[in-house]
Amino acid sequence: MNIPKIIRRYCPKCRTHTEQKISIYKAGKRRGSARGERRHAERKHGYGGQKFPKLAKPAKVTKKVTPLLTCSVCKKKFNKCGIRIKKFELVAA
């Protein structure tokens, strides 16, 4: 699916339509020292093996892509609703 790099859209901060740049949201790097990660490691310790089901095969064939909009006037970033697409491409429109 082709996604335009720049769109004209309503900015809730500027309260008017502005040009907004689209990039794709990427999850940050996982920290091993984060609370959830430490808890997971703790629970996997000792007798009993794997505590959480490992996905044998994923239920979905596609991944959600979240467009991240950046207002060119106020530089504020907004997340758009994620869409399930197999392949995407940012195109100049």
Task: Let me know: does 69 contact 8? Beta carbons within 8 Å.
Answer: no
1 token code pair: 């699916």
Residue 3 interacting with Zn ion (CB under 5 A)? no
Residue 17 interacting with Zn ion (CB under 5 A)? no
Note the Cα 39 to chain centre separation in Å. Answer: 24
* Cα–Cα distance for residue pair 52/50, rounded to 1 Å: 6
In the complex with Zn ion, the residue whose CB is nearer, 21 or 88, is 21
In the complex with Zn ion, the residue whose CB is nearer, 3 or 11, is 11
Binding mask 28-67 for Zn ion (x = CB under 5 A): ----------------------------------------
